[in-house]
């Protein structure tokens, strides 16, 4: 699967509640996990995860909890 990052918005939707954001994050984490599993099975590719956010937005905590 090839992803074109230029097609992915970097700004949040106008009306996104915290609950909806947390739900979307869980869905994305599940998808990333499934794709990572496929990559591991092939033993050909690596996974690069990019975190974007302002200072103190929780990037470090996310990395510590996920990885």
The two three-digit tokens of residue 10, written as one number: 């970097």
DSSP label of 6? G
Q: What is the CA radius of gyration of the chain?
A: 14
Tens of pLDDT, residues 7-64: 888 787 788 888 998 898 889 888 888 888 888 888 887 777 777 777 767 777 777 7
pTM of this prediction?
0.55
């Amino acid at each position: 699967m090839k992803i074109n990052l230029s097609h992915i918005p970097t700004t949040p939707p106008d009306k996104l509640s915290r609950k909806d954001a947390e739900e979307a994050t869980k869905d994305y984490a599940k998808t990333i996990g499934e794709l990572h599993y496929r990559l591991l099975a092939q033993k050909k590719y690596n996974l690069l995860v990019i975190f974007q956010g302002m200072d103190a937005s929780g990037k470090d905590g996310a990395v510590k909890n996920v990885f």
